[in-house]
């Protein structure tokens, strides 16, 4: 129950921050950015954007039950690509996503897959406990303890993970995980493969979203908003 109270409180905090600290705009659809993590052929005609939290059980279920079939039938065949973006629901997810950013491209998705598969083993109620549980998993991926420590404490990477959520919430109207966009069509929740594939079939032959510059939580208030969000998450975890 503490886990779900934490998620709910964090979501409320983020919504309040969006309303008071960030400019509003109509819900949009994401576009490819140069720093995106892409699974599959970048020129595939169908683009699936996935917004997920590494501590979200429904995201883990999608990763284990639906994604392997999508990869076999659509991604590996070059018909679609998946763009993974972070939408952390708590501080444990922020830490895990930050560490994932330090892996080279060829190890990024295998590490994300491992984190979802071992979610119950490392997701903890404190940042210190989360790091202690994550370190041996990262070592299995080839990251030394020194590299892990430096990465987990990298403020710039951590802020980028939080910014990913702020942009998704403010610009694309995302308020839960997992949320997908299939060539612009919004799909919410851990949708079974037989249902998810209908969105892909409807988009077959459609042009993928165009590439543009990186989105940011701008207007000069980015740093203060990120700091406020971080304080919220840390305070929430300290109460659990």
Domain coordinates of the chain in residue numbers?
A: 2-238
Q: How far is CA 203 from CA 2, 34, 66, 147, in A?
A: 40, 23, 18, 42
The overall average pLDDT reported for the chain is 83
Strand partners, 32: 211
Residue 45: is its pLDDT beyond 70?
yes
Spatial distance between the Cα atoms of 12 and 16, rounded to a whole number of angstroms: 6
Residue 211: is its pLDDT beyond 60?
no
pLDDT given at position 171: 96
Spatial distance between the Cα atoms of 240 and 70, rounded to a whole number of angstroms: 37
Q: Is 178 helix (H, G, I), strand (E, B) or coil?
A: coil
| 2-238 CATH choice from 3.40.50.880, 3.40.30.10, 3.40.50.970, 3.40.50.2300 | 3.40.30.10
pLDDT given at position 225: 54
Residue with more model confidence, 150 or 207: 150
pLDDT given at position 204: 81
Contact 15, 225 (CB under 8 A): no
Spatial distance between the Cα atoms of 224 and 21, rounded to a whole number of angstroms: 9
């Amino acid at each position: 129950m503490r886990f779900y109270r934490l998620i709910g409180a964090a979501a409320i905090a983020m919504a309040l921050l969006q309303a008071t600290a960030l400019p509003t705009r109509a819900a949009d659809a994401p576009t490819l950015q140069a720093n995106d993590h892409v699974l599959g052929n970048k020129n595939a005609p169908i683009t699936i954007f996935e917004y997920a939290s590494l501590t979200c059980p429904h995201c883990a279920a999608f990763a284990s039950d639906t994604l392997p079939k999508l990869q076999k039938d659509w991604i590996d065949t070059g018909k679609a690509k998946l763009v993974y973006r972070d939408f952390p629901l708590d501080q444990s997810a922020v830490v895990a996503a930050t560490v994932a950013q330090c892996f080279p491209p060829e190890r990024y998705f295998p590490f994300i897959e491992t984190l979802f598969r071992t979610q119950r083993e490392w997701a903890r109620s404190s940042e210190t406990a989360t790091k202690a549980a994550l370190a041996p998993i990262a070592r299995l991926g080839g990251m030394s303890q020194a590299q892990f420590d430096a990465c987990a404490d990298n403020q710039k990477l951590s802020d980028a993970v939080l910014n990913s959520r702020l942009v998704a919430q403010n610009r694309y109207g995302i308020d839960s995980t997992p949320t997908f966009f299939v060539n612009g069509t919004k799909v919410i929740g851990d949708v079974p493969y037989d249902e998810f594939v209908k969105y892909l079939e409807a988009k077959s032959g459609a042009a993928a979203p165009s590439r543009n510059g990186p989105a940011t939580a701008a207007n000069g208030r980015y740093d203060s908003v990120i700091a406020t969000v971080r304080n919220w998450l840390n305070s929430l975890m300290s109460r659990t």
